[in-house]
Amino acid sequence: MYERRSRLKSHQQGELLKMFVVGATARAAAEVGGVHRNTAAVFFMRLRKLIASKLPSYELSGEVEADESYFGGIRVRENEDVVQQAKWLYLAY
């Protein structure tokens, strides 16, 4: 595989490409390919962008429904609930 404007040698690109296909992490591929971990991460990201550019794009048509679910925010721990219940019991006496 040849990537334009890459300073990596062809055998390094080949090693990184093999590791990408296998599904290895960029850090593991960097160790095998003999390059810096950031170089491998950038190479993997460019491969992903290249693959995404070759895929057909789908446009939504018709009705699109969005619900009001929100799964973010701060999670209340169970211990804090117990403390609050004990506090109210203490104030009730």
CB-CB contact of 34 with 20 (8 Å)? no
Q: What is the pLDDT of residues 3-30, one digit of tens each?
A: 567 888 989 999 999 999 999 999 999 9
Tokens of residue 82, six digits: 């117990």
Higher pLDDT pick, 41 / 57: 41
**Residue 77 located in a structural domain:** no
Tokens of residue 26, six digits: 């960029």
Q: How would you label 63-85 residue by residue, b for 16+ Cβ within 10 Å and e otherwise?
A: eeeeeeeeeeeeeeeeeeeeeee
Neighbours of 30 (CB within 10 A): 22
Q: What is the pLDDT of residues 44-86, one digit of tens each?
A: 999 999 998 888 888 878 887 777 776 667 666 666 666 666 6
Looking at the structure of the chain, the number of domains it has is 1
**Residue 28 located in a structural domain:** yes
Provide the pLDDT for residue 92: 53
Provide the pLDDT for residue 31: 93
**Residue 47 located in a structural domain:** yes
**Residue 35 located in a structural domain:** yes
DSSP alpha helices (H): ranges in the chain?
10-22, 26-33, 37-54, 78-92
Residue 29's domain comprises 10-54
**Residue 60 located in a structural domain:** no
**Residue 43 located in a structural domain:** yes
